[in-house]
Structure formats: structure tokens, C-alpha cells
Structure 1
Amino acid sequence: MYSTGPIKACKVDVMEELALLGDEAVALGAIHAGLTAAYGYPGTPSTEIMERLIAEYEAGGPKAAWCTNEKTALEAALGVSFAGRRAMVTMKHVGLNVAADPFVNGALLGIKGGLVIAVADDPGMHSSQNEQDSRFYASFALVPCLEPRTQQEAYDLTREAFDISETFHVPVLLRLVTRLSHARSGVRTAPSRDQNSLSKADKREWMLLPAYARRRYASLLERQSSIHVWSEAHPVNRLELEGRDLSRVVITTGLGGNYYEENLADLKVHLQNQGRRLPARLHIGVYPAPQALIRRLCQDAQEILIIEEGQPLVEQNLRGILPQKPVIHGKLDGTLPASGELDPDVVRPALGIAARPALQISALQDGSFTLPGRPPQLCNGCPHGDSYTTLQLAVEGLESVAITSDIGCYALGATPPYDVPETIVCMGASVNMAKGAADAGIQHAIGVIGDSTFLHSGITPLIDAIASNTPMTLVILDNSIVAMTGCQDTMLPSEGIAQLVLGLGVEPDHVIQLEAKRSNLEVNAEILRKEILYQGVSVVIFKRECIEAIKKRQKLEAAKKAKPVCEDRGGQA
């Protein structure tokens, strides 16, 4: 029997099979592991983990909530762990940069209740500004990392991650990637366990004053040998030697194992035609990398192929693990592409297999074949379009203008037909980059940021600008929702943003709220231009609800109206 909706999963005493996204499998695995609370910030491809957890919370499951940013989410989870209970944090890979401070320091704490950080990487940059690999963070922080390759493993390893955290008293990083997070498969669940009882940790293990922190770091280093022993013995780290070619070996990690196995039938035929056997192989799914298994695999190897999704973590470390010098193939020597996602077809040339037969499309008369590009764009009727048009009118004729933008739907204003922002770097960067541009001598520095992103990481840089009375204008595009990741609620209602900005110290005459509306373009542009010319900090808030948020709200309202109302008739509806 398959199910996809909330199932009040905090108490499940029987095994059942569900059709789940990888993200949903993580959410359910956490609940069944005895989760007490989960926190996160939306970011593709991780968003569905928290959405499922929130749905279960509303159906009677453990606490689950969005937070202002990834740092605040992880710090809340640390509080749950300190109280002896199990907590999860969810984010995408660039979100771990925001949470790096509590993540790295959290490794020094005496973790009491299991703490799991579920991070979804985005190889290929489908909806991200870089391809960073979160496994490097786990290696840097000296904590275990689990890398599931199927939805079933996502469920199983999430459950296990809490036990590992409590065994070694460290946070555990669960590394996902887009194809696993957003693909659906059958998952067999197991009976759930109860939540931990409330029991505070030893405060001496949770205060990182230098004297305590030095002892905690020494303790973390001492535990590394036990963590390595665990990794070597874990069944997910699977070594295949029997009847294999030991001179040419393969190491796979995460989804790289799937792509290798999808080519296995063709590889067998290819090698049999050459009188050769399948290569010996090690699949790695938990880290630190199992060094003894790697040495055993490679002791007679002349060539090694490493197939790993993401950046070449194992490949870079291999030379430090192996005493001999076999030829190592992977991303560093160009055998596999250094960027983008892997897939079975990308892996085939590295295995020496011919490309699969493909449909040949007839070329145009001039011999070329091109499809028109379809870049993402703002939705028809999006309020940001009117806001950008207003900004274009406001700066018309001005010299020395810099417009810095941020991560969100409004980043699409950098493409035609608007072409307005000149920089897009990371969450919150627009604010202080506008300040820096003004400090460098740009006369009209303008930062553009969304409402949720402003709350995420735009407040503190605005304080910097206020403190130095920087001549700049911050434009906050308030569409009342976290639109790009699926219309999650913002942490503060729209009416509260102006109050917050006033509370930070922006002069009341220069906190302006405008309705982002096409009929108001000329009037709004004139008001905005005055603020851009003002020699101090001004904040202009363009307000209009996201059209997708309107649809979502109307759908919920319709559902509430259609819901049967029970009357009190002696216990009968």
C-alpha cells in the first residue's frame, strides 16, 4: 500500500511500504527515530523535508518549524540536543555556509540528544549559485557523514544517524543530492521509537570558553579512531573482490554507485569480449572514508577509477591513503567532468563502454540544430516586474549608479526584459555590497532584496549602513511569501517589516512603503528617485502579494469552506 500524505507518523508500530521522495524518506526516518523537533530554512532541493515534517507536526507529530535562517535553525536544534532530545536541521548546501559557525563549533560539544543536519547539495546548479560538496564540511568538522544512494537508504540512514550522533556525541551530517531528494520510490518503514526523555547535558561539555573548548577538541580528536572503526565496519561501505580484476578497480560514492550499476550489464559484455573480468569495487556511503577498505581494494591496483557525485573528495584524499602510486582516474584528470551532474551516460566513457544508441535529429539546412533558450523568468503578473520597471524609471539619466541584488525570485530581474541588477552573490550580500559601493564613491548605490531574504540575512548589514549613515537606498521587494522555494510563509508578516526597519534606526521620513502596481509606475518612480538622491540611508518597501501565494491562499480558503462542519448533536455529526 502506498501513501504520500501525512500519516501521523510519530507513532508507527507496524512495517508498511510508502511511495516517498528522498526528502520525504528523510523526514519520516527522523520521526520514526524519535524526533522531538526539527528546524530549517527553505532551499531547493531540501525544502520538501521540512514541508513533510511540518505536515506531520500539524497532524500530531513532533515539533517542526521554519526559521529565519539556517544559523538560527541549527542553534535551536542545539538547544533541543542540550535538553537530551533528538533534533534535525534541514537546508541546502549553500545554507550550510550560513550555519557553519554553530556546525563546526557543535562538533566540540558533548551532544546529548541525537543531532542530524540534513543538507541537500545541487550538482549541476539547477537552482543554486554554486556546486559545493557538503562532505568537505563534515571532513573539516571531523564528524560522520552519511550519503544515501536510494530512498530506502535515505530512510534507514536517517534513523541510524541519530544513534550514531548519540554514540559518538557529535552532530551527524546527512548528505543528499538533487536526484535523490526529488525522485520517488517505495520505502519500507520500521516501527518507530519513543522520543528521548528530558535530560540536560553536562554544562562543562557545552560551554566553549577556551579552557573547556581545548578539552573538548582533544576529546573530539580522541574519538576519531572509534569513528573510523565504525566507518570501516558499516555495511553500506561495501567491498566487492571475489572473482574480480584486482589490477583495475572502481570506487563509487553515493549516486555514483547507481550510475555504475546501471551500466553493469553492458560493462560485463564489453569486458568479456576482451577476456577480462569485472573490476574489484568499493562503494562508500558513510564517512570518514574507510581507509583500510581502500588499501585492501587497491593493494594490487594499477588503475583506479573514482565515480563520485559532487566534488572529488575521495579522489583528492586517495594519494594520502595509498602507499603505492597507481594511476588514478576521475574528475581531476578529466576522465569524468569536473562540474555538473553525473548520470549513467556520462559514466560510460570512463568505464570504456561505447555510448548508448541515440535518436539522431535531422539538422537544419545549414547543418546546425539549435533550440531556443528557455531561461527562467518572472511569472506573468509578478509584482517584481513592476518594481523593476519602477527602478529603471527612477535611475533614468542618473550617472554613477550601482544596483546590487540578492538570491530569490527577484534575481530573475537580471535577465531580459529588465536587466536591472548588476550583482548577485549570496543571501544578504546586496545590502552591504551597496554600502561598499557607496563607500568606494558610487553616488547612487541601491540594494535590492526580498522580504524573506531581508529577514534571513539583510538586517545586520543594514545596521552597518545605518551606523555609518551611508548614502544608499535599500529596496525591499515584499511579496509576503518565500516564493522561489514553493510559497512558504515568511517569518514576519509584511506589516512588521517597516516597523523593524524603523526600530533599527532609519529615519521615519525615509522609510517608504509603495504598492507595486503598474498604474503607479510614474508616481512610484518619482518617490523612489527622491530617496535615491537622499544622502543617507533610505529604505523603500514595494508591497504586493505574489500571484502564486494568492493562488495558494485561495485554494486553502476554498478547502476550508468545503470542509464539513460537525454539529454537537449528542456526540453525532
Structure 2
Amino acid sequence: MHKNIVLMGDEAVALGALQAGISAAYSYPGTPATEIFEHVQRLCKKDTSLNVLCRWSINEKVALEEALGASLIGKRALVSMKHVGLNVAADPFMNASLTGTQGGLVICVADDPSMHSSQNEQDSRFYSWFSKILCLEPIDAQEAYDMTLLAFTLSEKWHLPIMIRLTTRVAHSRSNATLSEINHPQKRITLPASFKNWMLLPSNARPQFELLWSKQNDLTQFSNHFEKNVLNIRPNTQKAVITGGLAHQYFMECGGADDYSYLRVCSYPLPKQKILALLQNADELFVIEEGYPLIETLIYECLHEIPHRIIVHGRHDKTVPQTGELNTDLVKKSLGYPTPTTTPATNDKLVRPRPPQLCKGCPHTDTFKALNEALRGHEHERVVFSDIGCYSLGYYPPHEAIHSGVCMGASISMAKAAGENGLKYAIAVIGDSTFEHSGITPLLEGISRQVNFTVIILDNSLVAMTGGQERIMGAEQFVSFILGMGIDRDHLKIIHPIPKNHAENTRIIREECEYQGPSVILARRECLQK
């Protein structure tokens, strides 16, 4: 008897991977993808017979490389990350389409339209198009489960990694899913008959790139015949809609299927045959997709094969909003349906505004107080470069202690550059896990070049912003590691950010900021969540 349960999209991906017989799961925490790995980990702790290796990796690049290593020896592996994490993993991601896979490799990426917890809302589908691999896009838990199971089979069929693209609403919304009774066994170690494709020397990579191109027709034919790419032609209408991702749910909710011919797209490359069939009798096309206008951009290749003119509406002409996530009312408006004439009460009117803030008693608060006091009077000759983590909230009142936050590890790189270009007080503020993720290499460079800058590592012993996951290094290992990079022992300071130490902490920060050379301050106090 099949089991029917309620799952988040993230949890459904995890269950699909486990039932597909993965041997390993790798990830770096980042909302809205964190719960994928956490659910794998939770289920494996509950049932040790699953025998799945679960590892939080030091960053997304390493996670993907680890999964690729498991694939090389014939094992199935799942790697999950948020959309900006794919930027970090871009190097192995692009090259994995050339090496191919031995064991099934599925890369699940969760995008964040409207930037609920991210610094941008980039669309990972473009990465799949760029790398010439198949991308599947579920819109609920059932599809997330089914497509993950399918993805491992397809990965081994075509010897390519397969991408699963989620968005925040799919990742975190709950819906019913019916699970299969079949649990696929884990694969045995099977080494490649030849390692030629795994050694990307130019002489090997060129034929691999040609092979990748030769697979594109198979991928397109899969999309043409994939039953989830639903084509519905209505008679007596010249208006058509193509939906992508969760936009299809909104289209159906607003009754669009009653008035428009439509094609739902959930696999990439695009289903060209179905698109041409949709366009044969259309003179106006609306492209509604969750994310950047990928379908809308690629559709013009198909338009050249249609003998008559078709007007295309979408994000490019602003018929569909160019930024933010969609909803039913926005889709209604895009299609010209009546929308509510009265403006519903917004959250701002119903609830007193509560801007994001650090937890009460957070150690970062005391560090920021000491930092602000140490730099008082130097407002025109200092910049505090920050990073990605809870401490980004130090930008807001009452702290107003930091001035930039670009991407993981950028605080140290930018502070180093500011210091070597003459800024008197160039300070980086970075979390301990973010330092492990992307801060090590720029600090090593800054120490080796003896740049005048100060790095404050907020050492709260875990990955706080995404739920308190473990970091890689222990406290003493942290100190030894930084000393091993060549920092002057006299300028590696440890402070304890609590109110009674405020005066002492302020003095230490001030002295290290005045020091002519690289210095590191570990602001060490456990996160309240631990």
C-alpha cells in the first residue's frame, strides 16, 4: 500500500533521494535549501540501516566536488544548496557536464524570488542552460519527490548531472505526496572503464564537449515527451500562455485554462515540439514564469519557425512584473483579468512593523558596541566591510556598525583591498562559518602581503543564521589554523563580547585597528541557540 503524507518540497526531495538509493548527501546550509539535507540527516539518524553518508561541507564548491567524487566511483549522490551557493560551486558545476557521471548525481538548487533571505533573486535555470544539462522544476511536494527519483535514473542514462530547481514557496510549502513502496538499493563501487573523460585536459575536454552537444537532442526529446509538460489547445482562441514553475499554479487558480491555450513547462531544454504546436494558431503569447525570463528569451528560436507574427508579452515588456515572486493576483493582472478594486489591508497596517534584529543577548551586539566606540571620531577614514550571516543585521539601528555585505568572504577581500589602497581603518567583520566557507584565502593573501587591515571573526561556534548547524573547526583548531597562516602571534587577539568586558574589548579593537599590518580578532561567545 502506498503511503500518503504531507511534506515540504525540501523534504520531498530528501525522501526521493533516499528511496533512489543514494550513498551520500552533501550540502552547505542556506535558506531555502537547508531543510533538504537536514531531512536526509534526520531520517538517517532515525534509521541507521539507511547507511547514507551525510556531510555538511565547508562550502558549496566542496559539496559538489564531494558528490562528484562519489559519482565517479559509481555511487548515487545528492548535493543541495541555495541559488547563490551555485555561484560558489560554478566551477565544478560547469565542468561536471563534461566529465559526466558514473553513479547518479542530482544537484538540487533552491532559488529565492523576492529575496526573502538572500542578496539577489537570480534564476538557476540559466546555469542549467549554460552547462547544457537537464533541469526539472517541480511545483509541489509530489512532483519534487517524483522528479528526484526520476532524476537519478536520467543521470545514469545520459551520464550527466541533473538539476532540480525549487523556489522558496515550493521548498517551504506543504502538500500531499504519495510515496512509492520501492526502495532502490545503494549502488556498489564501480570504477569507470576509462578515466579519460574525468581528466579534463584540453585533448580530452574537446571531444567531451562535442559529446555534450550531441546529447542535446536527447534532452530536448525528453522534454517533448515528458508528461508533466502539459499542452492544452483550446479551439477558437488565438491567445496562448506558457507557464514556468510555480506560475502554472497561479495561472490555473485565476481560471486562465478556461480562456487560453496553454503549455506548462517544467523541464529544460524547452519542449520545442509542444511549443510549436501551441503557437500554430496563436497571434498573442503570454510567458509567465517564476524567475528571470528564460523561457521568454529562448522562445524566439521557435518564433522564427512560425510563418505568422506573434506578439509576445512577459517580463521583457513589463506585462509580468520584472522583479519579485509572482502570485495569483499578479498573474490575473498580467492576463487582463479583473483584480480587486479595493486594496486589502497590508501587513504594515495590521501589524506594527518589526524590523529584523539580532536576538536579545546576541554576542554580536556587544562586539558591535565595542567596534563603534573604538572607531568613534574616525567616521571619514574607516569602512567596516561585513559578510553574509546574522551579523548583517548590524547594518540596521541601533547598531549601524557595518557598511557593506556582498557575498560570502567578500568582507576580507574588500577590506584587504581598501587597506592596501590607503584607507587608514579597513576592517572586515565575518562569521566563523563564513570564514571557513570563503574567508580563508583572502586572509592568507592579506597576511602574506602584510596589508594594513583588521579582521574581526565573530566566533559563536556554529552556523547560526540557518538554524545552528555545526561548523568544521573546533575552537582551538581555529586559533592554530590562523596562526599557521602566518599572523603575528601578538596580533591574534581573543575577546569575550559581554557587557562587563566592554571597555577592555574596545581598547583591544582600537589598538589592533591602529596597528600597521594585518591583525585578527576572535570575538568568541557561543550563540544563544546552541
* TM-score (norm. length: structure 2): 0.96
From 24, 38, 43, give the equivalent of 1:51: 38
For 2:362, give the aligned amino acid: C
From 184, 209, 220, give the equivalent of 1:217: 209
Runs of 4+, deviation exceeding 4 Å: 357-362, 368-372
2:274 corresponds to 1:293: yes
2:399 corresponds to 1:418: yes
2:502 corresponds to 1:521: yes
User: Which residue in 2 is equivalent to 1:435?
Assistant: 416
Unpaired runs of 5+ in structure 2?
none
1:374 offset after TM fit, Å? 2.5
Superimposed CA distance per residue, residues 384-436 of structure 1 (whole angstroms, 9 cap, x where no aligned partner): 00000010111122351111000000000011001111111000000010011
- 1:360–1:83 distance in 2 versus 1, CA, 3 Å: closer
CA distance, structure 1, for counterparts of residue 475 and residue 312 of structure 2: 55
Kept after mapping to 1: 8 A contact 2:100/2:161: no
Please give the residue correspondences for 1:48-447 in structure 2 after superposition, counting only pairs within 5 Å: 48-59=35-46, 60=48, 61=50, 62-190=52-180, 191-201=182-192, 202-241=194-233, 243-264=234-255, 267=256, 278-323=259-304, 324=306, 325-356=309-340, 373-398=353-378, 400-447=381-428
CA distance, structure 1, for counterparts of residue 353 and residue 318 of structure 2: 28
1:83 offset after TM fit, Å? 0.5
CA distance, structure 1, for counterparts of residue 415 and residue 115 of structure 2: 26
Kept after mapping to 2: 8 A contact 1:239/1:282: yes
Superimposed CA distance per residue, residues 41-60 of structure 1 (whole angstroms, 9 cap, x where no aligned partner): 00000000000011122231
For 2:356, give the aligned amino acid: P
CA distance, structure 2, for counterparts of residue 544 and residue 432 of structure 1: 25
CA distance, structure 1, for counterparts of residue 341 and residue 238 of structure 2: 30
Superimposed CA distance per residue, residues 428-447 of structure 1 (whole angstroms, 9 cap, x where no aligned partner): 00001001111221011000
2:1 corresponds to 1:20: no
Identical aligned residues as a percent:
45
1:371 offset after TM fit, Å? 6.6
1:357 offset after TM fit, Å? 6.7
CA distance, structure 2, for counterparts of residue 371 and residue 312 of structure 1: 34
Which secondary structure does the structure 2 equivalent of 1:474 belong to?
strand
Superimposed CA distance per residue, residues 247-278 of structure 1 (whole angstroms, 9 cap, x where no aligned partner): 100101110110011111xx57xxxxxxxx62
CA distance, structure 1, for counterparts of residue 427 and residue 148 of structure 2: 44
CA distance, structure 1, for counterparts of residue 340 and residue 405 of structure 2: 39
CA distance, structure 1, for counterparts of residue 512 and residue 218 of structure 2: 61
- 1:136–1:371 distance in 2 versus 1, CA, 3 Å: same
User: Which residue in 1 is equivalent to 2:517?
Assistant: 536
User: Which residue in 1 is equivalent to 2:462?
Assistant: 481
1:452 offset after TM fit, Å? 0.3
CA distance, structure 1, for counterparts of residue 350 and residue 461 of structure 2: 39
Superimposed CA distance per residue, residues 324-347 of structure 1 (whole angstroms, 9 cap, x where no aligned partner): 431111111111111111011111
Kept after mapping to 2: 8 A contact 1:245/1:278: no
User: Which residue in 2 is equivalent to 1:31?
Assistant: 18
For 1:422, give the aligned amino acid: H
Which secondary structure does the structure 2 equivalent of 1:376 belong to?
coil
CA distance, structure 1, for counterparts of residue 96 and residue 356 of structure 2: 38
CA distance, structure 2, for counterparts of residue 18 and residue 67 of structure 1: 30
- 1:502–1:336 distance in 2 versus 1, CA, 3 Å: same
Which secondary structure does the structure 1 equivalent of 2:238 belong to?
strand
1:373 offset after TM fit, Å? 3.6
Superimposed CA distance per residue, residues 459-491 of structure 1 (whole angstroms, 9 cap, x where no aligned partner): 001011012100000000011111111111111
Aligned length: 520
For 1:232, give the aligned amino acid: N
CA distance, structure 2, for counterparts of residue 51 and residue 64 of structure 1: 9
Kept after mapping to 1: 8 A contact 2:363/2:527: yes
Unpaired runs of 5+ in structure 1?
1-13, 269-276, 363-367, 550-573
Which secondary structure does the structure 1 equivalent of 2:455 belong to?
strand
CA distance, structure 2, for counterparts of residue 436 and residue 401 of structure 1: 13
Superimposed CA distance per residue, residues 149-204 of structure 1 (whole angstroms, 9 cap, x where no aligned partner): 11100000000001111111111110000001101111111111111121012311
Which secondary structure does the structure 2 equivalent of 1:281 belong to?
strand
Which secondary structure does the structure 1 equivalent of 2:520 belong to?
strand
Kept after mapping to 2: 8 A contact 1:244/1:278: no
* TM-score (norm. length: structure 1): 0.89
Superimposed CA distance per residue, residues 524-564 of structure 1 (whole angstroms, 9 cap, x where no aligned partner): 11011111111111000001111122xxxxxxxxxxxxxxx
CA distance, structure 2, for counterparts of residue 357 and residue 199 of structure 1: 63
Which secondary structure does the structure 2 equivalent of 1:107 belong to?
helix
Kept after mapping to 2: 8 A contact 1:246/1:298: no
User: Which residue in 2 is equivalent to 1:495?
Assistant: 476
Which secondary structure does the structure 1 equivalent of 2:196 belong to?
helix
1:361 offset after TM fit, Å? 5.5
